[in-house]
Amino acid sequence: MASRGGSATALRRLMTEYKQLTSQGAPDGMFEAGPISESDFFTWEALIMGPKDTPFEGGVFVAKLTFVSDPPHGVPFPFWFSIEAHTEQPSDYPLSPFKMKFEPPLFHPNSECCMPSEMTKRIIISPPPRHPLVYADGTVCISILHTPGDDPTMYEQASERWSPVQSVEKVILSVISMLAGQQFRVPFGM
């Protein structure tokens, strides 16, 4: 099993988490997660079921989890995504959080992006508004995935940020909780 870009500690931790997820399963079958291949334990895919009694219910949302460190300063962008660059950048997981990205990006479920125009009798399609905790590229932005330590903006407590006691399961459950949030039970913009 190749350890593309990962330290032995990170690989052991990821293998342990994967074993726990496959043996115990997710609570109420809310998600499935694991490495995309046996040769790459540092890139996972998660299938997240839309929470019941929410606008996301019935949906299955795909997220990519990456457990590699940020590129070193000065390395050109195209080279960072090459296999060679990954082998030079060991993961410091679980000391630092992984990255989570919805593919495709997650949008607000109650937006009306397709509305008939009375003047033209055509359908006007505009891009739907994004989910407020997901960047335009699909990257999830929640406290539990922020680097450990104090927040210079004073927005988050250190206890809300990543710590090595967190796990893939805890983060995905936090994302499911985010999807079930009250703000998505009303139409967008209300």
In order, the DSSP letters of 94-130 are TTS--EEEESSPPB-TT---EEE-TTT-SEEE-PPPB
Assign 87 to helix, strand or coil: helix
Separation between Cα atoms, residue 40 and residue 52, nearest integer Å: 32
Nearest to 13 by CA among 99, 94, 97: 94
Burial of 77 (0-12, 13-18, 19+ CB in 10 A): exposed
Which of the residues 15, 36, 141, 186 is marked catalytic?
141
Nearest to 104 by CA among 78, 135, 132, 73: 135
Residue 113 is a catalytic residue: no
Supply the residues annotated as catalytic.
141
